[in-house]
A = this chain, B = another copy of it.
Amino acid sequence: MKNEKRNTITTQALRRMPYYIQQLRILQSENVETVSAPKIAERLNLNEVQVRKDFAAVSSSKGKPKAGFSVNDLIDNIEELLGYNNADEAVIVGAGSLAQAILAHEGFRKFGINIVAAFDVDPYRIGSTINEIKVLSSDKISDLCRRMNIHIGIITVPAKEAQVVCDQLVAGGVLAIWNFAPVHLSVPDHILVQNENLAASLAVLSKHLKQAMKEKR
């Protein structure tokens, strides 16, 4: 009952949270204590009401007329919501350049995810180390996930291999999959697949561009 608010945050609002965090951290570093929804909205090119609603949905403290919301409170609340404090452990499958980019991504641990192992099928990669993470043979996915009680699997293998890897992760008890392969993955109902689909973004971009060019003519 108490945390009822929590459940009412929409997916879209959730996706905006990292942007809020980013702006709030800047303000925090400038020792600004409170900030209003309109101000953040202006900085991020969002609608004022939207920001206010988002803040209201996550904030434990209320906003004050004329002053706005406490910067520190907002940061705390959002970070807790996103689990930035207690990171979940994850494994990554496919130790290619994309995996390296992800592992190198500074402050990924800050984002609530702690990658503890990497897997690959390529014997040349197995045994090597990327960013202090050992690369293991893909054979061991299910086993290791189960033993270490891993809940998140990140897939960066080529499209063709993705479904097999996905099945192995699920067999290992993984509950959420972050999929960078440009394919649809079939999973049991209770498993969440979050697709990171570059082709989809590109589709939107190309279309807009084409439109822009047409209007220019």
Residues of A within 8 A of B (CB): 9, 11, 14-19, 22-23, 43-45, 81-83, 88, 96-98, 100-102, 104-106, 111-113, 151-152, 158-159, 175-176, 178, 182-184, 186, 190, 192, 194, 196-210, 212-213
Q: Is the CB of B212 within 8 A of A82?
A: no
**Cβ–Cβ < 8 Å partners of A204 in chain B:** 11, 14-15, 194
On chain B, the residues within 8 Å of A194 by CB distance are 201-202, 204-205, 208
Tell me the minimal C-beta distance from A186 to chain B in angstroms.
Answer: 8
Pull 5 A–B residue pairs with CB atoms less than 8 Å apart, ordered by A: A17-B200, A18-B199, A176-B212, A178-B202, A196-B196
**Do residues B101 and A14 form an inter-chain contact, with CB atoms below 8 A?**
no
Partner of A98, one of B11, B101, B183: B101
Cβ-defined contact, B184 with A44, below 8 A: yes
Are A184 and B45 interface neighbours, CB within 8 A?
Answer: yes
CB of A17, distance to nearest CB on chain B (Å) = 5
Q: Within the complex, what minimum Cβ distance (angstroms) separates A12 from chain B?
A: 10
Contact B22 A207 (CB under 8 A): no
Given A98-B101, A104-B97, A111:B199 Cβ within 8 A: yes
Contact between A192 and B212, CB atoms less than 8 A apart:
yes
For A82, give its contact among B113, B192, B207 (CB under 8 Å).
B207
Are B15 and A83 in contact, CB atoms less than 8 angstroms apart?
Answer: no
In the bound complex, do residue A17 and residue B203 qualify as a contact, i.e. CB atoms below 8 Å apart? yes
Contact in complex: B18, A209 (CB < 8 Å): no
